[in-house]
Structure 1
Amino acid sequence: MPKARRSDDWGFPRWRSYESSRETVAQRECDRHGCGEAGLCPAPKSPNSPDRWYFCQKHAAEYNKGWDYFEGLDKEQKEERAKSERQESAGYAEASHYGWTGSGDGSRSADEMMALEVLELEADADYPTIKKAYRAKAKEVHPDVKPGDDEAAKQFQAIQVSYEVLRAAEERREWKG
C-alpha cells in the first residue's frame, strides 16, 4: 500500500475549506459566439427581464455600451425607475461630504483634475495652494501685463476657468460639510 502524501494546505491558515474536494469546477463560458473566455459578467437579455447573458469582461462592455435600461417603459415608469436607482445609490453621494476621503483619492471630479493640470498642481492640493497658484499664474499672463498677446489671453482665460471650477467645488464641499 502506498504511503499517504501530506496535503499542501496543512497548518494555519487553511487555504481551502474542510471537507472540500479537489475536483475541477466547470466554469461558464462567454455567451458570445466563438469566445472561449470565462463568462463572469451577467447582462440582461431584454429590459425588465430576469434572463441574463453571461459574457467575458470585454464582450460585456461591448454589449452594455449601447444598452438603454429604460427601453419599453413609459415616461412615468422611467421616472420612477430612475428615482429608485438614485435612492439606492444615494448613500455614496451622501457619504462624499463627510470628508472621509482626502483630495487626490478619487474625491475630485474629472473637471477638477483638468483644472489642477492647468494650474500645474498635484491632485491633493488644498484650496489656499490653489488660490496662490492661480494668482501667480494670472499675474504672468494677464492682458494688462501682456497687451495684444493672443496666446497669453487664451492662457489667462484657461487659468480663470480652472480657478472657477476649483472654487465652485470648494464651495460645494464647505456647504455640504
Structure 2
Amino acid sequence: MARSSRSYDWGFPRWRPYGDKREAATVKLCDRHGCEAPGDRPAPKSPNSPERWYFCERHAAEYNRNWNYFEGLNEEEAKQREANERREAAGYADSAHYGWAGPGDGTRSRDEMRALEVLELESDANFESVRASWRRLAKANHPDKRPDDAEAAKRFHAIQAAYDVLKSAEERRQWKPD
C-alpha cells in the first residue's frame, strides 16, 4: 500500500495531536518584582560577576541609568581602576592614525575639511549652507566694510580661498563624464 504524505495540520483549529513536535517555549520573566514582561535583557548583578539579572526593556533602561561602575570602591580605588582602564584602552586611541584621518564620511578631501572649518561648518554640510556661510562671513570681514583692519583682510582672503576650494570640489562632483 502507498504511503500517505497528506498533512493533517490545516491551521486553526489545530488538527494534529497536542505535544506533536511543538513544545511550549519557556519564557523567563523580568526579574523586577511584579513585572510580567519577558526578561530578555541580561545585566550583571555586580562588576566582574558571571551572575546576571534578566530584565524587560523598560527595567533594563532603569537599571542602566542607575548603574554605578565604581560601587563598593573608595575614592582612591575608583581612581586607580579608572586609570588602569584608560591605560588599557590607550591602545585603541594610539591606533587612530590607521583610520582615514578625521571627521566626516570619507567623501571629502583634507583641503575640503579645512575649508569647511574656515567657514565654520560641519563636515556633512551641503553646498547651499556653504554658500550661505561664505556670504555671511565675507560680508562681515570685507575690506570695504573694515578698511583699517588687517586681521579682517586676512580672514576675508581665507574665506574666499575656502569657498573656491569647496566650489571647485562641488563642480567636480556635478560633472560626470559619459
Q: Is the pair's TM-score, using the shorter chain for normalization, greater than 0.5?
A: no
Greater relative CO (CA pairs within 8 A, separation 6+): 1
TM value normalised by structure 2: 0.44
